[in-house]
Amino acid sequence: MTDTLKVTKIAESKINQVDFSNLAFGTVFTDHMFVCEYKNGKWQTPEILPYGPLQMDPSAKVFHYGQAVFEGMKAYKDDKGDVYMFRPEENFNRINKSGERLAMPAFEKDYFFDGLNTLLNLDKDWIKPGEGNSLYIRPFVIATENGVSASPSSEYKFVIICAPAQAYYSGEVRVLFADHYSRSADGGVGFAKAAGNYAAQFYPTELAKAKGYNQVVWTDANTHEYLEEAGTMNVFFRVNDTLLTAPTNDRILDGITRKSLIELAKSQGINVEVRPVKVAEIVEAAENGSLKEMFGAGTAAVISPISGFTHKEKAFDLPTMEDAYATKLKKQLTELQANRSEDPFGWRYEVPAIEV
């Protein structure tokens, strides 16, 4: 811990009020939160405080112009009680990359890691060991300067909150390939984890849900001919024994699960092609039986297998595969994340034990 982190502990933990066997994702939060304010051109002394409401003026810019970015990461506990994170530096770099696109100041790396390590030590009991259990960590930055003028804020809050999570079973996932609405455009903010990207997806996703789909797989805004990503996941397609996924660009989020799976799959001798994926080739592969699997990849669900898709009113079912890549890769990745297997890639980060 740096001497510059101020810690105020909660008087009494809420942990005994929580049913850890029945957690709805992202609804219960731990005892503490990390908060750091930006004003007068610099980040001020960061603080850890009891989890609670943030007070802001109704004219704060985040409410009017959506100047807000966020991250999603997880911490895991092994059977010895040690706590790990998965490639946290990637999340740190990405929140600053997102922030830069939204004209926000970069956060300090040592504030981020000291804050996170201290927070995880304070709220360690909320991280349960065992398969599927984790602590979901949500860092976010919001524009807090008062005044309804459409210009970048000169004040911000960087906040980290944490929610205990269980394995995420989504059941059968059927998706709709977008052919009208778009998630992002060239030169836009699609690559950033900007809050507004998610708000903009809600309406078309609700329309798709009303028709019985769980998710929309977004296609490129210009032609709707290329498959890009889903709501909060990158997507992979297995055609025969080759895994295909779209390259990241300024419309697609550079997912940490995605890039890890590409490396993991390659290390297993799986042929991986990172290239634009045409809707037409996936439809054709589904028709001729060479499309074996489709799955989403992201921090929350790790891998979410997709059982069918619809494109322009035509529905296709995917086969149920024995030895599915999705099952195998998910197992390998989650074991590595939770320190239940070797980590030849150096992806695991051990959270140092800190007396707080």
Ligand X SMILES: Cc1ncc(COP(=O)(O)O)c(C=O)c1O
Q: Which positions touch ligand X (CB under 6 A)?
A: 72, 193, 229, 232-234, 253, 255-258, 298-299
In this complex, which beta carbon is closest to ligand X, that of residue 193 or of residue 348?
193
In this complex, which beta carbon is closest to ligand X, that of residue 42 or of residue 169?
169
Nearest-approach distance from CB 218 to ligand X, in angstroms = 9
In this complex, which beta carbon is closest to ligand X, that of residue 61 or of residue 193?
193
Nearest-approach distance from CB 229 to ligand X, in angstroms = 5
Find out whether 319 and 294 touch, Cβ atoms under 8 Å: no
Cα–Cα distance list, 134 to 74, 120, 207 (Å): 6, 12, 32
Hey, how many other C-beta atoms are within 10 angstroms of the C-beta on 101? 17
Cα–Cα distance list, 349 to 22, 148, 253, 267 (Å): 28, 42, 22, 21
In this complex, which beta carbon is closest to ligand X, that of residue 77 or of residue 258?
258
State the alpha helices, DSSP H only, in 102-148. Answer: 109-122
Tokens 């040592």 locate to 110
Nearest-approach distance from CB 245 to ligand X, in angstroms = 11
Tokens 């903009």 locate to 200
In this complex, which beta carbon is closest to ligand X, that of residue 232 or of residue 245?
232
Nearest-approach distance from CB 299 to ligand X, in angstroms = 3
State the burial class of residue 211 (Cβ atoms within 10 Å of its Cβ: 0-12, 13-18, 19+): exposed
Phi, psi of 59 (to 5 degrees): -90, 5
In this complex, which beta carbon is closest to ligand X, that of residue 16 or of residue 169?
169
Find out whether 328 and 337 touch, Cβ atoms under 8 Å: no
Distance, in Å, from the CA atom of 245 to the CA atom of 225, rounded to the nearest integer, reads: 14
Hey, how many other C-beta atoms are within 10 angstroms of the C-beta on 195? 19
In this complex, which beta carbon is closest to ligand X, that of residue 73 or of residue 83?
73
State the burial class of residue 107 (Cβ atoms within 10 Å of its Cβ: 0-12, 13-18, 19+): buried
Tokens 């997806």 locate to 201
